[in-house]
Structure 1
Amino acid sequence: MRLVKTSLLGCVIALLWANSINAAATEISLQLPQIETSQYHRPYVAVWVEDAQQQPVKLIALWVQKPDWLKDLRRFWRKIGRSDTALVDAVSSATQKSGSYTLQWDGKDDQGRELTAGTYTLLVEAAREQGGRSLVKHEFKWPATGAFIEIAAEGELGNISARLR
Structure 2
Amino acid sequence: MKSKVLPAVPLLAAGTIASPAGAATVSVTIPRVAVAEYHKPYVAGWLEPADGGAARTVFVWYDIKKGGNEPGTKWLVDLRSWWRKGGRSLRLPADGVSGATRAPGTYQIPLPANLPAGQYVLKVEAARESGGRELVSVPITIPGKGGSSSGKAELGAVTIR
TM-score range, shorter chain: 0.7 to 0.9
Contact 2:33 2:153 in 1 (8 A): no
1:140 alignment partner, SS class: strand
- Which residue number in structure 1 is paired with residue 89 of structure 2? 83
Runs of 4+ in 1 over 3 A off after TM superposition: none
Q: Deviations over 1:16-66 (max 9, x none)?
A: xxxx9312x11111110000111110000001101121420x322110011
What is the TM-score when the length of structure 1 is the normalising length? 0.74
1:36 alignment partner, SS class: coil
- Which residue number in structure 2 is paired with residue 42 of structure 1? 40
- Which residue number in structure 2 is paired with residue 151 of structure 1? 149
The correspondence of residues 3-152 of structure 1 with structure 2, limited to 5 A, is 21-23=20-22, 25-51=23-49, 52-56=51-55, 58-65=56-63, 66-86=72-92, 88-90=93-95, 91-108=97-114, 115-144=115-144, 147-152=145-150
Larger helix fraction of residues: 1
State the aligned residue count: 133
Structure 2: gaps spanning 5 or more residues = 1-18, 64-71
Pick the structure with greater CA Rg.
1
Work out the percentage of aligned pairs sharing the same amino acid: 38
What is the TM-score when the length of structure 2 is the normalising length? 0.76
Q: Deviations over 1:97-156 (max 9, x none)?
A: 001111112332xxxxxx333221110000001100000112222221xx2311123220
Q: Which has the higher contact order (CA 8 A, sep 6+)?
A: 2
Structure 1 distance, partners of 2:40, 2:83, is 18
Contact 2:140 2:146 in 1 (8 A): no
